[in-house]
C-alpha cells in the first residue's frame, strides 16, 4: 500500500516527483564512491545541496496521511532526520555516509512520549501528491563541485546547476 500511495509512478517529466520516491532516488544517486574523505565530501554535497532533506518531512506527511505512521512516529523520525542532517551537512569533513549517520541517530534518539500512537488513512488510497506536497524548488540531488567531482562514479553525480 505504501508503494501505491506514497511512491506512485509519475508519467510526465514535468510532474512533481512524490517525495518518498524522490528521496530514494536521491539517496541512491548520491551513494558515495568509496569511503575516502573526498568520496564522503561528494556524498555530502549531493545529499545536502539538493532537495533530499527538504522533501523527507513531506514523505513522512504522506505516510501519516495514509495511516502508515502515527503522530508519534512522525515526531520520532523528524528528530532523527534533524540529527542526521546536522551531522552530515554541518560537518567540515564528513566521516560517514548518510545511511550510517541516520541509523546511529535513530538508535540514539529518545522515543517521543507525546502524540497519538494510532493512525488512520485520511486519504483512502488517493495518490495525488498535492494533498501533502507542492514543489517550491527544483527536486533532485545536489550539485557536486570543486575537488569532490573527482570522487564521482558517473555523470549523474554532477547534475547541472539549476538557476
Over the chain, what is the mean pLDDT? 89
pLDDT, position 121: 87
φ/ψ (deg, to 5) at 66: -95, 15
CA-derived radius of gyration, the chain: 17
Q: What is the mean pLDDT of residues 86-90?
A: 98
Tell me the per-residue pLDDT of 111-152, one tens digit each, with 9 for 90 and over: 888 888 888 888 888 888 999 999 999 999 999 988 888 877
Grid cell digits, residue 155: 555523470
Q: Hey, is 79 helix, strand or coil? A: helix
Assess whether pLDDT exceeds 70 at residue 155.
no
- pTM confidence score: 0.86
- At residue 159, the pLDDT reads 47
Instruction: Calculate the CA dihedral of residues 66, 68, 72, 77 and round it to 10 degrees.
Output: -110
Residue 62 scores a pLDDT above 90: yes
Share of the chain above pLDDT 70, in %: 93
Residue ranges covered by each domain of the chain: 18-110+151-158
Q: What are phi and psi of 27, to 5 degrees?
A: -60, -40
Amino acid at each position: 500500500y505504501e508503494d501505491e500511495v506514497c511512491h506512485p509512478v509519475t508519467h510526465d517529466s514535468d510532474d512533481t516527483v512524490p517525495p518518498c520516491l524522490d528521496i530514494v532516488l536521491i539517496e541512491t544517486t548520491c551513494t558515495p564512491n568509496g569511503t575516502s574523505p573526498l568520496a564522503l565530501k561528494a556524498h555530502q554535497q549531493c545529499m545536502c545541496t539538493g532537495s533530499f532533506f527538504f522533501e523527507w518531512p513531506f514523505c513522512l506527511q504522506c505516510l501519516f496521511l495514509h495511516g502508515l505512521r502515527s503522530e508519534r512516529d512522525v515526531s520520532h523520525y523528524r528528530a532523527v532526520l534533524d540529527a542526521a542532517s546536522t551531522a552530515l551537512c554541518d560537518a567540515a569533513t564528513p566521516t560517514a555516509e548518510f545511511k550510517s549517520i541516520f541509523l546511529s541517530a535513530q538508535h540514539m534518539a529518545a522515543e517521543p512520549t507525546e502524540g497519538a500512537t494510532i493512525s488512520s488513512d485520511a486519504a483512502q488510497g488517493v495518490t495525488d501528491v498535492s494533498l501533502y506536497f507542492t514543489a517550491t524548488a527544483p527536486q533532485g540531488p545536489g550539485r557536486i563541485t570543486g575537488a569532490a567531482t573527482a570522487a564521482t562514479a558517473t555523470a549523474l553525480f554532477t547534475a547541472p546547476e539549476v538557476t
